[in-house]
Chain A
């Protein structure tokens, strides 16, 4: 029988606040163990939580970005279970009144070729809630070590409906979600650093049926490719099991990225009884519409909306837009440069090819390209493109000098002047050189006059050679034709 997979994702995203969710000690990555702690983080006797306003504001921003319904009131609940990475043995979370409900994520599937746009679809969300992160356990031969630096960081859980149907869609969903969150400056979303984590609920059903099969929750999907591979494996495993007459049991399984298979963690019968109840230490949150309005005014353009605008209004080719639109600083750079230039699609091309190449050759921080102090300013790139457009410099020369602009922070004009690289458009000089070329090569001149069009190229070559490539090819062509066929 043919089966189709139905997948729902629970994505955890760490918000990039400066202090933790319920206490004002710093957040951070790579600090020495247990130094981002205080009585609240360690759950010492008597410690009490106090909300971080910014975390709530960022959550509302995410909700708006993903078209969720923002709650008028949300509250905090304790999720009770024992685990060494959780200092209080309960996690402050949101059970029945989450901050956002519903919502959607637009995804794009791969096109027929990398230069062709793929199909787009909306994936429905169930809810988004805010909670605190747990610490980090490192397992050794005979024991485990706990570092609580990460404990208490604000963590957003974005829960999708079972509305994804293939590993490729899962990949597209995560990519789109990450682009949105990174461009809204909610989180760097670096999976390596645990800033974005993902669990998947996977079931399969016979093609053509609509009831959901028994779901398996898959954990330990720590990289985007891990998610794709894990989901792929799990669909294969379930399909094989059903084809061999077995039944799927509701359970939680772990993806083992090294061995590339999933193994059981716990069954439904072993499921936790979390004993949720409202946290008596915290007051609820009231989100007034005025606040939501204010946040929505500052909302960044969604990456796919931006892409459509670039393609439709600015005539930028799809390939360039897809390289640009996942990266908000890059887009800002591009738009600034384009605003000083008459050929935005050429600017886009320069940005995604030449600029990115230079940037990645030189310094590159972990959170993508740092364009804030880029040695070539957007205005400077625009100037270079304008110089090509105006015929002051040839495209080849421009390509050659760009790395030098980047290395020296000099403008294109300065470099061209210093090196004498502007194209020669002086008619008298070019006429003299053309006349010389004709008298040096009468054969070619005769052939051209005799109707052999291609013979002019030899004459042009010698003029260009004499000017070291700097003669304006258009003027050379016109001048030669005028001298040969008066």
Chain B
């Protein structure tokens, strides 16, 4: 490749190849993305901040390593940008909240350390719904991110900045976090690949927690191949996270290159009922046909507890969040209200002024579900129902190797369309939420477009710690259709 002005359109593996063959340097790659950000981010607003100098310093170090033949891995010199809830030492971490406006992290998240050890250029900070609470990125205190395919529509959320940045080619690879669909739903709405690994596969140390028992960090990219590569780098047991799982990490990037025998996919009938957009249905049916044609066996399965997943999720996630977010109190590192006269005031006013509406709503709901007299009816009951949801998946996986569903019932919706109605917003996560409750890995891959040219995503759900198999099934499709390589005009 000689035309350096188009570097930013490349995939991670193409960048890796180009760097290896000396077609361009990491500095050139990084500059290409920086100029792309300057060109389009006024429109997209995927970034909350980026440290140009720091990125270029990292790029130069990578080029020096390469010159001396000591690269740290295939992604050495390739930029990866982070959702603004993942700590990177010396960088801001706002969680898209006013309350953390001035905070700079004094430490690296485990994934950040892993990226640095892989030689990655750790890039800018990506927009999200405040504290990852939302499905549209409209809940950012710093203004929403726009969908690169239609700037009047949401990119999905909460990792809307992470998905939009890849779609707008402002970054080749990004990381987001997924608590109830926050990686897969925005990936679907922005036409890119996004994956939530098995709970415990990737360390949460350094990820500002929303709901501890559900949160996982995961990658975004144009292709499944890139997602496999990035997941391989960030995965692994971490002694600093008691919930990280001590199971070996296979080379996902190798695994997907192996010949793969078509297997059995389940179609949960509860997911294909009412409420699904016609274009989405059409697109998913085509994908199902694609797999059939390839020799996969597709069978109907049942996940009877599907409709319970939303109340279970919101009870558990808000309860955990109400406790996790108590630390943002105006005392040690968050902004303190100027109107506070005593310590109680500092809390109530700093949090009242510093949190946005959705965060306040969820903290209050969560505190209610745990409060005296309601714990058994809400939190405990939700945890028991969560067991039933897991059991449903266990049964399903006795029959099938993976489950195929739409990622989101609708394509990207317009700004303001759901923001005043929490329940309809909560329902946009209906297909993704149960995966988090069961702790399973899920991936969203682009599978088509609506008549209006909005991307549609297909979700594949795999067995626990079987990301290799899941990625192989996804890669089978993605390698041929390559829909994530379609680029919106901006």
Contact = CB atoms under 8 A, between A and B. Distances in A.
Interface of A: 38-39, 42-51, 78, 80, 82, 84, 87-90, 144, 146, 273, 275-277, 280-283
Nearest to B316: A280
B207 A46 contact: yes
B358 to A, nearest CB: 18
Nearest to B112: A46
B87 A46 contact: yes
Contacts of A84: 331, 343
Given A50-B239, A80-B326, A277-B375, A45 B347 contact: no
Interface string B315-346: 00001101100111101110000000001100
Given A78-B323, A273-B372, 6 more contacts: A45-B105, A46-B87, A82-B344, A276-B375, A280-B213, A281-B209
Interface of B: 85-87, 93, 95, 100, 103, 105-107, 109, 204-209, 211-213, 239-243, 319-320, 322-323, 326-329, 331-333, 343-344, 347, 367, 370-372, 375, 379
B319 A277 contact: yes
A282 B343 CA distance: 30
A464 B114 CA distance: 87
19 contacts: A44-B87, A45-B105, A46-B109, A46-B205, A46-B209, A48-B204, A48-B241, A48-B243, A51-B242, A80-B326, A82-B326, A90-B323, A273-B372, A275-B367, A275-B371, A277-B323, A280-B213, A280-B320, A281-B243
Given A87-B327, A89-B326, A280-B320, A44 B107 contact: yes
Contacts of B375: 275-277
A201 B347 CA distance: 30
Most buried by A among B211, B240, B326: B326
A60 B186 CA distance: 49
A44 B329 CA distance: 11
B120 to A, nearest CB: 19
A50 B205 CA distance: 11
A39 B106 CA distance: 8
Contact of A39 (B107, B207, B326, B344): B107
Given A84-B331, A280-B213, A275 B323 contact: yes
A80 B363 CA distance: 13
Q: Which 7 A-B pairs have the closest CB atoms?
A: A89-B326, A45-B208, A275-B370, A280-B213, A280-B212, A46-B206, A43-B327
A50 B204 CA distance: 13
Contact of A89 (B204, B212, B329): B329
Nearest to B109: A46
Contacts of A49: 242
Nearest to A135: B332
A130 B212 CA distance: 22
A48 B327 CA distance: 13
A281 B242 contact: yes
Contacts of A146: 331
Nearest to B348: A82
Nearest to B213: A280
Contacts of A48: 204-205, 240-243
Most buried by B among A46, A80, A87, A89: A46
A48 B111 CA distance: 14
Contacts of A273: 371-372
A47 B327 CA distance: 11
A48 B110 CA distance: 11
Contacts of B323: 78, 80, 90, 275, 277
Nearest to B203: A48
Contact of A82 (B95, B109, B347): B347
B243 A42 contact: no
A88 B324 CA distance: 8
Is chain A's binding surface mostly helix, strand, loop or mixed?
Answer: loop
Contacts of A47: 205-206
A276 B372 CA distance: 9
A382 to B, nearest CB: 50
A48 to B, nearest CB: 5
Nearest to B209: A46
A88 B284 CA distance: 44
A84 B340 CA distance: 14
Contacts of A275: 322-323, 367, 370-372, 375
Contacts of A82: 326, 329, 344, 347
A149 to B, nearest CB: 14
B213 A43 contact: no
Nearest to B368: A275
Nearest to A83: B343
Contacts of B87: 44-46
Contacts of A282: 242
Contacts of A39: 106-107
B382 to A, nearest CB: 11
A80 to B, nearest CB: 5
A273 B368 CA distance: 10
Contacts of B204: 46, 48
Contact of A45 (B85, B326, B379): B85
Most buried by B among A48, A51, A80: A48
A122 to B, nearest CB: 35
Contacts of B209: 45-46, 281
B456 to A, nearest CB: 33
A281 B212 contact: yes
B175 to A, nearest CB: 13
A84 B343 CA distance: 8
A5 to B, nearest CB: 30
Contacts of B212: 280-281
A283 B110 CA distance: 19
B270 to A, nearest CB: 27
B366 to A, nearest CB: 9
Contacts of B332: 42-43, 87
A87 to B, nearest CB: 6
Contacts of B205: 46-48
A330 to B, nearest CB: 41
Contacts of B370: 80, 275-277
A45 B125 CA distance: 15
B240 A45 contact: no
B474 to A, nearest CB: 29
A39 B105 CA distance: 9
Contacts of A90: 323, 326
A48 B215 CA distance: 13
A88 B320 CA distance: 13
A276 B322 CA distance: 12
A90 B329 CA distance: 12
B327 A277 contact: no
Contacts of B343: 84, 144
A277 to B, nearest CB: 5
A273 B347 CA distance: 17
A283 B326 contact: no
Contacts of B100: 45
A88 B209 CA distance: 12
Nearest to B332: A42
A430 B79 CA distance: 102
A277 B103 CA distance: 29
A153 B437 CA distance: 33
B110 to A, nearest CB: 9
Contacts of A42: 332-333
Contacts of A43: 327, 332
Contacts of B379: 277
B59 to A, nearest CB: 26
Contact of B106 (A44, A50, A88): A44
B240 A50 contact: yes
Nearest to B320: A280
A282 B244 CA distance: 10
Nearest to A271: B372
A280 B243 contact: yes
Nearest to B379: A277
A50 B242 contact: yes
A127 to B, nearest CB: 20
Nearest to B87: A46
B103 to A, nearest CB: 8
